Amino acid sequence: MSKKAVCLLSGGLDSTTVIAMAQQEGFEVYALSFRYGQRHSIELERAAAFAKVRGVARHAILDIDLRSFGGSALTADIDVPKGHSVEDISAGIPITYVPARNTIFLSFALGWAEVLGAQDIFVGVNAMDYSGYPDCRPEFIEAFEHLGNLATKAGVEGAQRLKIRAPLINMSKADIIRKGLELGVDFAETTSCYDPAPNGAPCKHCDSCLLRAKGFAQAGVQDPLDAKFASSTA
């Protein structure tokens, strides 16, 4: 019987690589995505397509309306910042930070893991090439794992020991890309952009696009999205 894992899936290159890593370890993957009021639906389209291609056991998309709170350029009528240098990206917490997003997402994942009897939750957070979000740091992951084992029936009774798996947390974006390619992830079918065109073409100027471009450049590989959308930007 396969061991089960709940994996957060956004449709970006980090979460898709993490799912490929979980599958390589022999996990039966239960992918979890969220329609949380984000600016566009492209990431969910990419997530659904990836989940189908990778043959996950189930892909659940939950609806939660974080636009009710706002507070972020991703969930409110606030312009997405563009034109930063890569060096400036991690200086301070940007307006694209969605308050408590990973805490909320992991809480849902925790509930599903308990129902499934899964001890492992995978998340694609990264504390190297990232935008300075507080809920992407090792301290947060460690604290949430501790909370999860205190907050669940399975944890308190000792039926299962929850582990939050963040295998990318100390990897550069270039190393993440190399790992994904090694495991057969098709990055042409991922999205990273905070403010894409209606057809999914990346803006190439937001922080997430800049970090993605830096990663592919350092990995010595062309981003397949460049070729995919070359005709639309020509």
Percentage, residues of the chain above pLDDT 90 = 73
> Is the per-residue pLDDT at 230 higher than 60?
yes
Rounded to the nearest 5°, which phi and psi values hold at 108?
A: -65, -45
* Distance in angstroms (rounded) separating the CA atoms of residues 52 and 39: 24
- Residue-by-residue DSSP string for 41-88: SHHHHHHHHHHHHHT-SEEEEEE--GGGT--STTTSS-PPPB---GGG
Tokens 């939750």, located at residue? 121
What does the pLDDT read at residue 159? Answer: 77
pLDDT mean across residues, the chain: 91
3-233: CATH topology is Rossmann fold (3.40.50)
The residue ranges of every structural domain in the chain are 3-233
Q: If pLDDT is split at 50, 70 and 90, which confidence band does 57 have?
A: very high
> Is the per-residue pLDDT at 95 higher than 80?
yes
pTM over 0.85: yes
- Say what angle helices 138-151 and 101-116 make with each other, to 10 degrees: 40
Percentage, residues of the chain above pLDDT 70 = 94
Mean pLDDT over 150-156 rounds to 89
Backbone torsion region of residue 11, taken as left when φ is above 0, otherwise alpha when ψ lies between -120 and 50, otherwise beta:
left
* Distance in angstroms (rounded) separating the CA atoms of residues 29 and 109: 12
- Residue-by-residue DSSP string for 88-138: GTTSS--TTPPTTHHHHHHHHHHHHHHHHT--EEE----SSSS---GGGSH
Q: If pLDDT is split at 50, 70 and 90, which confidence band does 131 have?
A: low
Three-state DSSP class for residue 153: helix
Residue 45 structure tokens:
């389209």
